[in-house]
Amino acid sequence: MTDSESDSDSSSSKKPALATPSTSSKKRDATPTSSTKKKEPKKKKSDVNEEVILKFLNDDSDDDEDEEKLISKRKWMMVESKVNGTRYSPAPPTNPSHRYVDRSIDPRDDRPCPVWWKLATSLNTRRKMSEDSEDGGDSKLREFYCSLAREDDDEVMSSQQSTISELTPSTPPAMIGIKQTLILTADKRKAAEKKIRDAGPEGKLVPGTKSKVMFDPPNDARDYGLFKIRPINATGGGKFICANDPNCLRTRSTVMEEIPKCDIHKGGQIGFVLSEFTDDANYKQDVVYHVIASFKFHAGDEEGKTKNALDAMKIQISNQVQQSVWNLYVKQRLDENKPAPKLVEIEGRRRYFDDEDEMMKVHAARQTTTLFKMLLWPDTTIKIICLNTTINFPNGAYRELRDEMDENGLVLKIHDKVKEATGMEKNMEPGLEIPFLIKANPGESLGSLLARGKKMEEIKLAALYFVSNPYIIYAGQAISAYVHSNLNNGQEPVTYYKKNKGDHPDYKIVPVGLVHEDHRYKWEFILHMCALIPSLLKLKNCLNPEDYVDKETKKVAQSHPYCINRSTNSSFVDKKSWGIIHGYLLKKFSVDVYLGSKGI
Among 390, 305, 389, smallest CA distance to 351 is for 305
Among 528, 530, 536, 525, smallest CA distance to 572 is for 525
pLDDT at 244: 86
Q: Can the peptide bond before residue 534 be classed as cis, meaning omega within 30 degrees of 0?
A: no
Please, which residues have CB within 8 angstroms of residue 187's CB and are 6 or more apart in sequence?
A: none
Rounded Cα distance between 222 and 258, Å, is 8
Among 519, 520, 502, 503, smallest CA distance to 511 is for 520
Rounded Cα distance between 178 and 192, Å, is 18
| Cβ–Cβ under 8 Å, residues 286 and 383 | yes
pLDDT at 16: 59
Among 164, 172, 121, smallest CA distance to 294 is for 121
Give alpha helix (H) positions in 409-464.
Answer: 420-425, 446-454
Rounded Cα distance between 564 and 501, Å, is 12
| Cβ–Cβ under 8 Å, residues 128 and 121 | no
pLDDT at 299: 85
Residue type, 186: A
| Average pLDDT, 10 consecutive residues per value, the chain (600 residues) | 38 51 43 40 42 58 69 87 69 89 94 92 57 51 88 43 42 50 85 92 91 92 91 87 89 84 80 96 96 90 92 85 82 93 97 94 98 96 95 98 97 91 55 93 96 90 97 97 84 93 94 97 98 97 88 79 97 95 94 89
Q: What is the DSSP letter of 92?
A: P
pLDDT at 152: 42
pLDDT at 80: 77
pTM over 0.85: no
pLDDT at 168: 47
| Cβ–Cβ under 8 Å, residues 303 and 266 | no
| Cβ–Cβ under 8 Å, residues 473 and 467 | yes
Rounded Cα distance between 267 and 311, Å, is 14
pLDDT at 62: 61
Among 103, 218, 231, smallest CA distance to 592 is for 103
87-123 burial, b at 16+ Cβ within 10 Å, e below that, comes to eeeeeebeeeeeebbebbbbebeeeeebebbbbbbbb
pLDDT at 121: 78
H or E stretch including 272? Answer: strand 269-279
Pairing relationship of beta strands 351-353 and 383-386 according to DSSP bridges: unpaired
Residue type, 380: T
Among 433, 409, 383, 410, smallest CA distance to 34 is for 383
pLDDT at 65: 66
Helix axis angle, 356-375 to 577-589, nearest 10°: 100
Residue type, 428: M
pLDDT at 262: 84
Q: Which residues pair with 597 in a beta bridge?
A: 410
pLDDT at 161: 42
| Cβ–Cβ under 8 Å, residues 367 and 388 | yes
User: Rounded to the nearest 10 degrees, how much is the dihedral formed by the CA atoms of 127, 392, 396, 314?
Assistant: 50
Rounded Cα distance between 295 and 131, Å, is 13
Rounded Cα distance between 541 and 121, Å, is 27
pLDDT at 138: 42
Rounded Cα distance between 389 and 367, Å, is 10
pLDDT at 73: 87
